Amino acid sequence: MKYGKIRIEDGFLVFTRHMMINNLPCKDIVWAYMRKEGTDEGDDRQLSVNYLVIVTRRKKRYKFDMTEKEIHECIRILKILNPDMATGFPKGGRISLHSLPNTRDLGAIVTADDRHILPRRLLRSGELYHISESDKNRLREEYNLKTVIDLRSAEERKCKPDTIMAEVEYYHVPVVDEDVQVISNREQFVKMLAGLPDDMEEYMIRQYRNLCMDQLVLKQYARFIDILFRQEKGAVLWHCGTGKDRTGIGTAFLLSLLGVEEDVIYEDYLRTNRYMEPKLVYMQRLVQTWPEADEKMTEKLPIIYNVKEEYLAAVFETVKKTYGSMEKFFQTVFYLIFNLLGAYIKVEEDSAIGRADVVLHMPDTVYVMELKYDKTADEALQQIDDKGYLIPYSADGKRLVKVGVNYDSDKRTIGEWKIVVG
The answer to whether 121 and 147 are in contact (CB under 8 A) is no
**pLDDT tens digit sequence for 254-300:** 998 888 999 999 999 999 999 999 999 999 999 889 888 888 888 88
The CATH number that applies at residue 325 is 3.90.190.10
**pLDDT tens digit sequence for 19-30:** 899 999 999 999
147 and 45, same structural domain? no
198 and 79, same structural domain? no
Which residues does 109 contact at the CB level (< 8 Å), separation at least 6? Answer: 91, 92, 116, 117, 255, 260, 264, 268
Q: Which domain holds residue 146?
A: 104-329
3-class SS of residue 364: coil
Tell which of 329, 355, 381 closes a domain: 329
Mean pLDDT of 87-112: 93
Q: How far apart are CA 324 and CA 179, in angstroms?
A: 30
233 and 316, same structural domain? yes
366 and 308, same structural domain? no
138 and 64, same structural domain? no
Q: Which pLDDT score is estimated for 413?
A: 62
254 and 278, same structural domain? yes
The CATH number that applies at residue 404 is 3.40.91.60
For 318, list phi and psi in degrees, rounded to 5. -65, -45
Instruction: Choose the most confident range, by mean pLDDT, from 228-232, 394-398, 399-403.
Output: 399-403
Q: Which pLDDT score is estimated for 93?
A: 93
199 and 275, same structural domain? yes
Nearest to 153 by CA among 131, 123, 183: 183
The answer to whether 112 and 411 are in contact (CB under 8 A) is yes
Residue 44 has pLDDT above 60, yes or no: no
